[in-house]
Structure 1
Amino acid sequence: MALMAAFDPVELEVEDESHRHAGHVGARDGRGHFRVRIRSDRFVGMPPLARHRAVYAALGPLMTTDIHALSIDAQPPEGTAAG
């Protein structure tokens, strides 16, 4: 998975929430709605916007082919500085 390769996370949860958006205009093209919770040392010292941008960059083309909407909770592991 792209997020594993990019961040070597200590925690990663990906939840497909597409079923909650059945009939939604963006869901009609087959792309999904996902929620991501990721904890990685690579986020240490990064502000929240930079962490979100890093997740989007790691997913690359999936954002235009498979993912319609993405909710991101990206943090350093507990006990480390968030940024």
Structure 2
Amino acid sequence: MLAVFAEALREFGRLVPEDQQRRYEMVASELEQEAAKEQPDRGWVRSLLERGKNLLVGAPANLQHLAQVAKIGFDLYGQGLA
């Protein structure tokens, strides 16, 4: 499931201005690295999800609804890590 969030963040990043895309890619890559582990570090995953959500907060106006949906997914997944 974590890999799905990583790919969603990566795809979202392709929709933002080019100068912002690298930040989305970095968080997505780090999420994928954790997803590939047998036992992902829960604290680090929560931190990465929070970083992803913070990126989505600054989404362009035309992507705000999509960003809201993604943030809800990140929140729900993060609650399961508690």
TM-score (norm 1): 0.31
Which of the pair has more CA radius of gyration? 1
Q: Which has the higher helix share?
A: 2
Which of the pair has the greater relative contact order for Cα pairs under 8 Å at 6+ separation?
1
Q: Which has the higher strand share?
A: 1
TM-score (norm 2): 0.31
